[in-house]
């Protein structure tokens, strides 16, 4: 019979790569994972990240669109555990609930899924995609899904999203010495515990490596990075890296959502509703104080905002 398999959906994406890398290491050291193998799912095996993952021990790459996965497909590969980081398109509920239904019928024992900012996951939230996450969790919590154990990870905001514009601002300034307006999504003063996707992936992998998943079944864990940052502090990091003051800053910037909405033909109002997503963080509800104790105990986040910015800048100068 085929070895028990852990399926990673979105293996080359934001959090998936770290899940695969961490699990590949853990299979060699964890008794609970002895004899397991990993299927890293990607839409293109030519993807450089996929090719890197393919060289890891205990990992095989499969090219497939995850929305087409069936119970038979899972059974054929003896998938017993899975990780899924879904998209946030309007079809998310239909796509992800179909995946979980296939997992249920295939007898998959445990799924770790990526959700979103904990304070936003409510049926009456103005932005559409946290409502979809709420609906998925409601389905998974129903008696019909009792046999499928699951955990939702709720990262407040990714470091790459909070500091991405700062990184690009520094890179552009270093090219030509000119400044545009620094557009930052975070609030000027509110503490924000942004978390790096790699830290989220490591925690997901540790959960998947556990022998007994019942203690984490139906759990919703809030993830933040190791330290808080404010919009003002991001500006200071930028100034340290360009050696001069930033001339113009726009905090609470959501103009990228307008650009996104302008580029689509359908669901414009849904895309525009995403502007409500960071309101909780602007009110100071997404600081490191909200981190779940289980996250700190099992795989404490390590990557600080300043640390990520330094590494990203170094990578951009060597590439």
Q: How far is CA 165 from CA 228, 234, 307, in A?
A: 18, 10, 16
Q: How many CB atoms lie within 10 A of CB 105?
A: 15
| pLDDT over threshold 70, residue 196 | yes
Tell me how far apart the alpha carbons of residues 234 and 128 are, in angstroms, rounded to a whole number: 29
pLDDT of residue 319: 63
pLDDT per residue as tens digits for the range 103-140: 999 999 999 999 999 999 999 999 999 999 999 999 99
- pTM, two decimals, is 0.96
pLDDT per residue as tens digits for the range 236-245: 999 999 999 9
Which residues make beta-bridge pairs with 8?
Answer: 40, 83
- Contact (CB, 8 A) for 115 and 292: no
pLDDT per residue as tens digits for the range 37-92: 999 999 988 989 999 999 999 999 999 999 999 999 999 999 999 999 999 999 99
Taking each helix axis from N to C end, the angle separating 159-176 and 231-242, rounded to the nearest 10 degrees, works out to 30
Mean predicted confidence (pLDDT) in 307-315 = 96
pLDDT per residue as tens digits for the range 152-169: 999 999 999 999 999 999
pLDDT of residue 73: 98
pLDDT of residue 316: 86
pLDDT per residue as tens digits for the range 35-49: 999 999 999 889 899
- Contact (CB, 8 A) for 44 and 117: no
pLDDT of residue 253: 98
What is the CA angle 110-112-114, rounded to 5?
160
Domains of the chain: 5-156+196-224+293-298 (3.40.50.720), 159-192+226-288+303-318 (3.90.25)
At 318, is the pLDDT very low, low, confident or very high (cuts 50, 70, 90)? confident
Of 102, 81, 96, 104, residue with least CA distance to 133: 96
Mean predicted confidence (pLDDT) in 290-317 = 96
pLDDT of residue 167: 97
Percentage of the chain lying above the pLDDT 70 cut: 99
- Contact (CB, 8 A) for 73 and 41: no
């Amino acid at each position: 019979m085929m070895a028990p398999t852990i399926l990673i959906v979105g293996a080359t994406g934001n959090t998936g790569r770290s899940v695969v890398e961490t699990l590949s290491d853990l299979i060699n050291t964890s008794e609970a994972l002895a004899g397991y193998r990993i299927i890293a799912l990607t839409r293109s095996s030519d993807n450089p990240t996929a090719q890197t993952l393919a060289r890891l021990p205990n990992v095989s790459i499969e090219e497939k669109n995850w929305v087409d996965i069936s119970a038979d497909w899972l059974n054929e590969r003896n998938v017993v555990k899975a990780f899924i980081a879904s998209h946030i398109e309007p079809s998310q509920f239909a796509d992800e609930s179909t995946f979980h239904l296939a997992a249920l019928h295939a007898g998959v024992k445990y799924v770790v899924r990526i959700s979103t900012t904990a304070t936003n996951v409510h049926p009456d939230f103005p932005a559409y995609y946290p409502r979809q996450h709420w609906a998925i969790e409601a389905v998974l919590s129903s008696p019909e899904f009792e046999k499928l154990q699951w955990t939702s990870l709720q990262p407040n905001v990714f470091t790459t999203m909070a500091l991405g514009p700062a990184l690009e601002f520094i890179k552009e300034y270093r090219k030509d010495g000119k400044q545009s307006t620094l557009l930052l999504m975070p609030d000027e003063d509110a503490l924000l515990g942004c978390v790096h996707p790699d830290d989220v992936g490591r925690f997901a992998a540790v959960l998947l490596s556990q022998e007994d998943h019942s203690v984490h079944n139906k759990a919703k864990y809030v993830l933040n990075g190791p330290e808080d940052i404010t919009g003002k502090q991001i500006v200071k990091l930028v100034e340290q890296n360009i050696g001069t003051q930033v001339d113009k800053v726009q905090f609470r910037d959501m103009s990228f959502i307008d650009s996104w909405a302008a580029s689509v033909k359908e669901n414009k109002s849904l895309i525009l509703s995403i502007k409500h997503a960071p309101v909780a963080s602007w009110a100071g509800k997404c600081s490191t104080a909200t981190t779940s104790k289980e996250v700190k105990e099992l795989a404490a986040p390590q990557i600080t905002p300043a640390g990520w910015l330094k590494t990203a800048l170094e990578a951009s100068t060597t590439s």
